[in-house]
Structure 1
Amino acid sequence: MFNEERHLTSPIRWGMVGGGRGSEIGHAHRAAARRDGFFQLVAGAFDLDAERGREFGSNLGVAPERCYADYTTLFASEAAREDGLQAVSIATPNSTHYEITKAALEAGLHVVCEKPLTFSVAESETLKALAASKNRVLGVMYGYSGFPMLHQAREMVRRGDIGDVRVVNMQFAHGFHNTAVEESSPGAKWRMNPEVSGPTYVLGDIGTHCWQAMEMVTGLVPDELSCMRQSFIESRAPLEDNAHVMVKFKGGAVGTLWASAVNAGSMHQQKIRIVGSKASIEWWDEHPNQLKYEVQGQPAQLLDRGMGYLYGDNPGVCARIGGGHAEGFFESWANIYHRFALAMDAMERHDQAALDGLWYPDADAGISGNRLLECCVESADGGSAWVKF
C-alpha cells in the first residue's frame, strides 16, 4: 500500500507559469502537486492578463504580491526572497516551453514541464545539459505514467513473464475533434497552429503519451520508423489530425502507433498491447485499474490494481486504496508528482543512490518524444520513407 507517513523536512516551495482560470491541465498540476503535502503553491505567473492572473492566484490562496505579471518577473523576484521558489511547473502552450524552462533552470529552479518539452531534440538536449549543470530536476509531465498497472506491466516484462517482446501496438485515438472545433475553442485552436503547437498536432499532443508508455514498460530502443499522416479537416494542414506509424526496434521487435483526433465516437482509446513470445499484456486508460494478461493456451486473465498477486515489492505498483475501489487520473498525476518531489529532495541532498533507484519521466523522455516527432515529420514529408530514429 501507499506510504502516507513519508514526508520531506518541509514542503517544496512551488510555483506555476500558466495554468490559470479555466485550465484543466493547470488544475491537474495543482491537485497532483498538493496531494501528498510535498509541494506548497507560493507564487505564480498564471495568466497573460496580469490582473486576471493576480485575482486567480489570490483565490487559490497565493499572496497577491507573489502573483506576477510574467515569468521573468516571477523568477527574478522570487530569487531575491529568502523564502523564494524552489521549483516551478510550466503549463503554457508548446512554443513557450523552451524559453521558460531555460529561464527557470538558469534561476536555479527544479522544473516540471508539460510535453512536448520543446520543439526539437536539440533544444531539449540543451535543457537536459543545463539541468545537469545546475543539479536540478527536469521532469516532463507524462501524467498517465503514474498508473500502477502500467508499472505492473513494466515489471512483468522485466521479469520475463511474457517472454521476449515481439510486437507493440500503441494507440491514442479520440473523436472529439472530428469536426472543426477549433473555430470556437481557443484551446483547440492553438494546438492546430504550427507556430504555437510545433510541427505536429495529434502526434505531439497525444501520440507521445503512448510512445512514452511503450518505452517505460518495454525498454525497447527504436531503430527506424515510417509515418503517414493526414489532415482530414483540411484547414488544419500542414498539421495532422490522424497519423499511423510503423516502428522497427533494435533486437527485432516491431510496433505500430495510431494517433487520431477524428476517431468518430471514441472517447480516448489510449491503449498499449505488448505481445511476447509466451504471453501478451494490454492496458487501456479508460479502464486503468485493470491489465489484461493472456498466456498462450490458457484462459485470459484480468489483473486488478491493489491485489496481493501483483508485484508489491515494486513501489510503482503501490495502491493508494485497496483493490476494487477505482483510482484514476488524479491519482496517477499525484504519483508522478510524488516521484518528482523525491527526486528533487534527493538531488538537493546529493543522494545519487536514491536518484538511481527512482524512476520518473525525465528529460530523456522529453527528448525521445521530440525525436519521434522529428522522425515522423521527415518520414511523412518524404512519402512515408523509413527514417533512422
Structure 2
Amino acid sequence: MYYGEKKIEKPIRWAMVGGGKGSQIGYIHRSAAMRDFNFDLVAGAFDIDPERGREFGKQLHVDEDRCYPDYKTMFAKEAKRQDGIQAVSIATPNGTHFEITKAALLAGLHVVCEKPLCFTTEEAEELEALAAKQNKIVGVTYGYAGHQVIEEARQLIAEGKLGKIRIVNMQFSHGFHNVAVEKNTASTKWRVDPKVAGPSYVLGDVGTHPLYLSEVMLPDMKIKRLMCSRQSFVESRKPLEDNAMTIMEYDNGAVGYVWSCCVNCGSMHGQKIRVIGEKASIEWWDEHPNQLTYEVQNEPVRVLERGMGYLAPSALEEDRIGAGHPEGLFEAWSNLYSRFAQAMDACDRGEHVEFWYPNVHAGAEGVRWVENCVQSADQGAQWVDYK
C-alpha cells in the first residue's frame, strides 16, 4: 500500500505545454503529477495566447518570468537556467505532438505526451530512436491503465488462470457526440479536423485506450493482421469516422475485436475489455473501475475488489486508501505519473526500471494500429497484414 512516501530523492522540475485555462485534461495532468510530490510545476507555455497563458500560469503559482509565450522560447530559456526544467508534459491538439515531443527530446528533456504520439509510423519510429539516442523517457497518457485491477488482470493471465487466450473483446463506445457538437464546442471541433486530429477520430481518440489495456494484460500476444470498417454517421465529420469496428487475428490464434464509437446514444463511457480463455474469462468496465469480474466455467462469478488482500502483491502496491473506498481516474493517472517519475529518475541515474508503463513504444504501437485500421477501412474493409 502507498502512504505518500517519496519514490524519488527530489521532485522533477516540470513544465507543461498547453493545458491552460479551460483545459480539463490539463487539470488532470497537474493533479496527477503533483499529488505524490514527484513533480514540481516550475514553468509552462500554457496557451496559444501568451498573455492568457501568463495570467493562468500565475494562478498556478508559477513565477511570471517562467510563463512563456511558446514552447520553443521555454525550452531555450530554461536550458540556460541552473534550475531549468527536466521534464515536460504536452497537452495540446494532436497535430502538434510530434514536433513538440521531438523538440523536447532534442532539448534534453523527458516527456509525457497525450496520445496520439504523432500521426504516422515513420514519425513514431523517429521518436523511439531519438528517445533512445538522448537517453530520455517518453511516457504516453493511457490513463486508464493506472487502475489497480488492470495489474491483477495481467497477473491472472500470466499465471495461466484463464488458460490459452481465445478472444479479446474491447470497446470504448460513448454517446456524447451523437450529433455535431463540434459546431459549438471548440474542444471537439479540432478532433474532427484531419489537419489537426490526424487520419482518424474515434479510432485514435478512444479505440487506442482499450487496445493499450490489452497490451498490458497480454504483453506476449502480437497482432498478425486486421480488418476495419469505419463510418461517419454525422456527415460533416467525413472523412474522419465516428464509429469503427476492428477485427484482429493474433499470432497465437486468438481473435480480438475493438468497437470505437462516439455515437452510442445513451452510453456514458462504454469502455470495457473482456479477455476469454479456454478455462475462464475476466472483464473490466471503466464505469466500475474498482472491480474485475473473474468468471470460471461452471463456478459462481467472482467480483474481485481493489485493495483486497487476495489480489496479487503487484496489484496492491499502488493502493492508496484501502479496500472499500472507491478510487477513480485521478488516482489512476497519479499511479502512471508516479511510474513516469521513477522511470525518469532511474534513467538520469543510469539505471533501468523493471515495471511496465505506457512508454514511447506503446505510443508508437497506438499510431501503428490506427494507421493499419485506416488502411483497411479505406480499402473497403479488407484484411491487411499488420506492419
Q: TM-score, normalised by structure 2?
A: 0.98
| 8 A Cα contact 1:165 1:277, kept in partner | yes
Q: Show the counterpart of 1:361.
A: 358
* Amino acid across the alignment from 2:383: W
Kindly provide the CA deviation profile for residues 241-278 of structure 1, in whole angstroms up to 9, marking residues without a partner as x: 00000000001000100000000000001000000111
Counterparts of 2:198 and 2:179, CA distance in 1: 21
- Aligned counterparts, 1:283-294, within 5 A: 283-294=284-295
| 8 A Cα contact 2:174 2:263, kept in partner | yes
SS in 1 for 2:258: strand
Q: Show the counterpart of 1:54.
A: 54
Q: How far did 1:318 drift?
A: 3.1
| 8 A Cα contact 2:12 2:87, kept in partner | yes
Q: How far did 1:319 drift?
A: 1.1
Q: Check if 1:383 corresponds to 2:380.
A: yes
Moved more, 45-54 or 214-223: 214-223
Counterparts of 1:176 and 1:7, CA distance in 2: 38
Counterparts of 1:34 and 1:138, CA distance in 2: 18
Counterparts of 2:364 and 2:124, CA distance in 1: 6
* Runs (5+) with no aligned partner, structure 1: none
RMSD across aligned positions (CA):
0.9
* Amino acid across the alignment from 1:223: K
Kindly provide the CA deviation profile for residues 75-99 of structure 1, in whole angstroms up to 9, marking residues without a partner as x: 0000000000000000000000000
* Amino acid across the alignment from 1:249: Y
* Amino acid across the alignment from 1:255: G
SS in 1 for 2:167: strand
Aligned pairs, number: 385
Counterparts of 2:105 and 2:200, CA distance in 1: 26
- Aligned counterparts, 1:263-278, within 5 A: 263-278=264-279
Counterparts of 1:257 and 1:373, CA distance in 2: 12
| 8 A Cα contact 1:149 1:317, kept in partner | no
* Amino acid across the alignment from 1:298: E
- Aligned counterparts, 1:1-389, within 5 A: 1-219=1-219, 220-312=221-313, 314=314, 318-352=318-352, 355=353, 357-389=354-386
Q: How far did 1:347 drift?
A: 0.2
Counterparts of 1:24 and 1:151, CA distance in 2: 27
* Runs (5+) with no aligned partner, structure 2: none
| 8 A Cα contact 1:152 1:317, kept in partner | no
Moved more, 237-246 or 123-132: 123-132
* Amino acid across the alignment from 1:229: R
Counterparts of 1:110 and 1:77, CA distance in 2: 17
* Amino acid across the alignment from 1:288: P
Counterparts of 2:150 and 2:373, CA distance in 1: 25
* Amino acid across the alignment from 2:226: L
SS in 1 for 2:101: helix
Counterparts of 2:342 and 2:370, CA distance in 1: 30
| 8 A Cα contact 2:152 2:315, kept in partner | no
| 8 A Cα contact 1:79 1:107, kept in partner | yes
**What percent of counterpart residues are identical?**
58
Counterparts of 1:136 and 1:316, CA distance in 2: 28
Counterparts of 2:294 and 2:153, CA distance in 1: 9
* Amino acid across the alignment from 2:287: E
Moved more, 158-167 or 169-178: 158-167
| 8 A Cα contact 1:173 1:268, kept in partner | yes
| 8 A Cα contact 1:54 1:68, kept in partner | yes
Counterparts of 1:209 and 1:333, CA distance in 2: 13
Q: How far did 1:228 drift?
A: 0.2
Counterparts of 2:369 and 2:47, CA distance in 1: 31
Which ranges of 4 or more aligned residues in structure 1 deviate by more than 6 Å?
none
Q: 1:7 to 1:215 in 2, by over 3 A?
A: closer
Q: How far did 1:316 drift?
A: 6.5
| 8 A Cα contact 1:306 1:318, kept in partner | no
Kindly provide the CA deviation profile for residues 306-363 of structure 1, in whole angstroms up to 9, marking residues without a partner as x: 0011002x156531111110000000000000000000010001113xx2x1211001
